[in-house]
């Protein structure tokens, strides 16, 4: 479906570049799939949200505050992405 003429024409019309990996290569989407799994299992209420503004505010808070600044990530040796980035800046001498 993502290789169909209609889909590719729409991408072209909106000046978007399609990202497709080789057949059977699941690594391209792994980070996003992991993020959405965490969001759904750790944060989204079991009964959902009452309205769209409530959902936007809550999910935005999860992504910008909790997930990036507080949540420990195994890939970063148990620290948040923001803390890992700060450590890299210190190590490289960049500020």
Domain ranges of the chain: 1-34, 44-95
- Is the pLDDT reported for residue 44 higher than 80? yes
| Distant-in-sequence, close-in-space partners of 7: CB < 8 Å, separation ≥ 6 | 1
Region 70-76: mean pLDDT is: 87
58: CB partners within 8 A, 6+ apart? 43, 49
Confidence of residue 32 (pLDDT cuts 50, 70, 90): confident
What is the pTM (predicted TM-score) of this model? 0.58
pLDDT band for position 33 (50/70/90)? confident
Residues 6+ apart with CB under 8 A from 47: none
Q: Which ranges in 1-95 belong to alpha helices (H)?
A: 5-13, 30-38, 52-61, 81-92
- How many CA atoms lie within 13 Å of 6's alpha carbon, on the beta-carbon side? 1
């Amino acid at each position: 479906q993502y290789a169909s003429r209609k889909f590719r024409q729409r991408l072209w019309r909106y000046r978007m570049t399609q990202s497709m990996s080789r057949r059977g290569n699941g690594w391209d989407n792994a980070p996003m799939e992991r993020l959405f799994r965490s969001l759904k299992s750790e944060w989204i209420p079991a009964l959902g949200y009452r309205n769209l503004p409530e959902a936007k505010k809550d999910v935005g808070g999860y992504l910008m505050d909790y997930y990036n600044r507080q949540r420990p990530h195994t890939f970063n040796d148990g620290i948040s992405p923001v803390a890992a980035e700060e450590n890299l800046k210190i190590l490289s001498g960049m500020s």
